[in-house]
Amino acid sequence: MDMARIDALPGGGCGRLALTDGDREARDLFASWCREAGCTVTIDRLGNMFAQRPGRDNALTPIGIGSHLDTQPHGGKFDGVYGVLAGLEIVRTLNDHRIETDAPIDVVNWTNEEGARFAPAMLCSGVYAGLFDLDFALSRTDADGMQFAKELERIGYAGDMPCGSHKLGAFLEAHIEQGPVLERHAQVIGVVTGGQGQRWYDVTVSGRDAHSGSTPMAGRRDALVAASRLVLAVQDIALEFAPDSVGTVGEMHVTPNSRNTVPGEVQFTVDFRNPDDAVLSRMDEALRDAVARETAASVNLQMIWHNPPVRFAPACVEAIQAATTAYGYPRRQMVSGAGHDACQIARKVPTAMVFVPCKDGLSHNEAESAEQSHLEAGCNVLLGAALHLSSAVGHPENQTHDIIPA
Ligand code: HGY
Ligand code: MN
Ligand code: MN
């Protein structure tokens, strides 16, 4: 709740975009909490933060536990933030119980997960995992032309450590589900086995500015009318490839955006997702066909990101499953509809996620909320899995049984 006060919105949410002053304030607060808990904080070239709690053997690669602190423009209090602070809560609990893990524990904050300001999403966990190169990330610009590299310098979080050089032995992420499944089935824990595939596009529709009063309808080259047909095509394609496909046009800029000028240019975004990459390819073809049918304006379609579906490491999924069973939480296995840093990290490091329900399945909305007992359950499962993976379990002197039922 203290973190939620930074860039708090009137409707109860958080609008804390990446590399803004609010992001810097959130990072500073997070780092101060981690240092209070005895962690050493290191920052890599893209501002990814690693707060390390020493283990018995610091030569062992740390177990990473984290998520992201940046939010959507009308975001909630829990998306991303829960996963970062769950990692901190685990460090505090280990401290309280004087438990020493074999491997160190790293609480991680990944830069620019949302992609709302600098596309694509999961950008810096993507560079860490070798999916994007450093210069691609540093050169990203936002809608106002501000450059990623300069904004990162400005907030003081351009570290020296090369991105990807800080090794992790495994990575775990707790997150609200951001969908209705757990709540609908009265389950507390989602044992996440992977993430669905995504394709992101930038579309530019070019027509011709004209006077709205004196220009006959025939012969107009109205870019917004053409763009509107394509928005409906995105909707129709997602419905055509039901039940697992989703398609969204979330961002649109109309130029000149004047009520008495026929719009000459429209730029908009497309977000397609499906657990099956082959279906994503057919959705791509269907979108290109819809573009080819547009004659009233010229359309430039650029696919800016293709993120294939990802499966999490069975050993990590099993650690989450075993901890869930130890606590007896009602749970289900599921594939994540939303993208997460874990979906990127999984391509380089053994990774898994744990979901907890959120009210009405709502997220990327100020009304986003979660029950404390569910958030606690997610932390308990994460703790159990982290102890297992950091091979602390089985050291009787650790007294782990008093936080993990036998
Ligand atoms: O796009 C996503 O799924 C995530 O919220 N960045
Ligand atoms: Mn998130
Ligand atoms: Mn999000």
Please state the domain extents for the chain: 3-196+309-398, 197-307
Atom of ligand 1 nearest to the CA of 115: 6
Query: DSSP letter at 336?
Result: E
pTM for the predicted model, two decimal places? 0.93
Architecture of domain 197-307: 2-Layer Sandwich (3.30)
Residue whose Cα lies nearest atom 4 of ligand 1: it is 339
Which pLDDT value is given to residue 321?
Answer: 97
3-196+309-398 shares its CATH topology with 197-307:
no
Answer whether 339 contacts ligand 1 (Cβ < 6 A). Answer: yes
3-state secondary structure of 25: helix
Which pLDDT value is given to residue 395?
Answer: 44
Which pLDDT value is given to residue 296?
Answer: 86
Taking the CA of 250 as reference, the closest ligand is 1
Q: Could you tell me how far CA 314 lies from the centroid of its own chain? A: 21
Q: Could you tell me how far CA 160 lies from the centroid of its own chain? A: 24
Which pLDDT value is given to residue 55?
Answer: 93
Pocket test for ligand 1, best of 70, 82, 114, 178 (most atoms within 8 A of CB): 114
Mean pLDDT, each 10-residue run in order, the chain (406 residues): 98 98 98 98 98 93 96 98 98 96 96 97 98 98 97 98 96 98 98 97 98 96 98 98 96 98 98 97 98 95 96 95 97 97 96 98 98 98 93 44 40
Answer whether 83 contacts ligand 1 (Cβ < 6 A). Answer: no
Q: Give the integer Cα–Cα distance in Å for 131 and 150.
A: 22
Q: Give the integer Cα–Cα distance in Å for 217 and 302.
A: 29
Domain 3-196+309-398 in CATH: superfamily?
Zn peptidases (3.40.630.10)
Distances (CA, A) of 161 to 50, 88, 169, 350: 11, 22, 18, 22
Residue whose Cα lies nearest atom 6 of ligand 1: it is 114
Answer whether 113 contacts ligand 1 (Cβ < 6 A). Answer: yes
Sequential DSSP letters for 27-82: HHHHHHHHHHTTPEEEEBTT--EEEEEP-S-TTSPPEEEEE-----TTB-SSTTHH
Answer whether 338 contacts ligand 1 (Cβ < 6 A). Answer: yes
Which pLDDT value is given to residue 291?
Answer: 98
* Secondary structure (H, E, C), 165-194: CCCCCEEEEEEECCCCHHHHCCCCEEEEEE
| Cα 129 to middle of ligand 1, angstroms | 17
Beta-bridge partner residues of 271? 200, 248
Which pLDDT value is given to residue 390?
Answer: 84
Atom of ligand 1 nearest to the CA of 364: 5
Which pLDDT value is given to residue 183?
Answer: 98
Which pLDDT value is given to residue 403?
Answer: 45
